[in-house]
Structure 1
Amino acid sequence: MNSALVKAANDEQIVNTALILLLNTVTMFHPSVHADWAIDRKIFHFGDFFEARTDGLLKIAGVEVPLAIVEVKSHLREGNINQIQMQESAQMAAWLYNYPNQGLLTSQFRRLIVSQDNREIYLTFAEYDAAYLQYLKNENTISVSKDAAPPSFMTMHQFGPWNCFDSKFVESVGRIILAFTIQQSKTYTSN
């Protein structure tokens, strides 16, 4: 479908509701899922520098930490990809800053942001290490030694887009979302 034929939604909340409904439809009836995708907007503060707001999250009752975050746009990424990726990276960094020790997930050093831009869904996995968490908290020491470890960075791995108008794409992304949600459910309910 030609992107020029797809108009931006009148309200971003329309896209947000559609994505959360899809995520819950994919996961809600599986017996191993104990988490819910919610429209709850979450605000993360990054020190005194800025705040990042998300459009939804994956959560388990009684667990304060978001298991994944959601970001939506009423328009496609075309022409805005750099700004959108910067926003998602800032949201991820702020999430890590607020919740650096996320149960067993800290040892895996990855987190997920699910995005929908108009009709397109993206999955972005952030990879990082303990040194990056120290960097965020300004706890690392910088050594000028030639043997010093290089600075640590977070890497964002973006996959997609999956077109919501194509049932094969929806089935494909749905399987990934279901597997991720089951993994998160098991991580937090087996402790």
Structure 2
Amino acid sequence: MPYKNILAFGVVMIVGVSVGYSLLSFRTANNFDWQELFLYSSGIGYSYEVVVNSDLPLPEGNLSGKYKFISAVTNSRSDELNFGYKVFADIKELDLQKIPQKYKTERKVTHVAGEFTVPPIKEVVYSVTFDFGLKDRDGFELVQLKSIPHRLYSGRINEFQNVVKYPISLELADRVSKTFVSMRIEKCNTCDDY
């Protein structure tokens, strides 16, 4: 009789542990926490257009950020997620000694609404995108994602938060061990205005 009780207790324990493990390992979009983003090399890259067409110093600074998987914005399927990100870009101030004279003087511009006086620049505005590489624990890249364009300002800590609306399966999200980010300066908006 005591052996039957011990055996029954053992079976109940095994079943209980198995069910508990299954419930703990089941992931949903609601229980993915924010994770640190790692940098690809320096973290900042430049498009060909910016390198050859910009007469202003290229922006330098530091990137940091985090990411998480969230319920898919574009789909109601419970097994699909989207990639949410929050990136901080601390960009150095513009060195006014290194900019061409045309940016240092007031100028008049004419638009449909009338003529306006534009003061000398104190900051530069760029169009940037972010590339995210999602890697597994062995370092293999599972998928690469690209953000929408954002506006980056020199001399500020720029904060960007958005969602990449590319469907990612729950299975793939569970395999992600590290995610890398780089910021690509696509064009100099301030340069285009002159």
TM over 0.5, yes or no? Answer: no
TM-score normalized by structure 1? 0.29
Work out which of the two has the higher radius of gyration on C-alpha atoms and give 1 or 2: 2
- Structure 1 or 2: larger helix share? 1
TM-score normalized by structure 2? 0.29
Of structures 1 and 2, the one scoring higher in RCO (CA 8 A, sep 6+) is 2
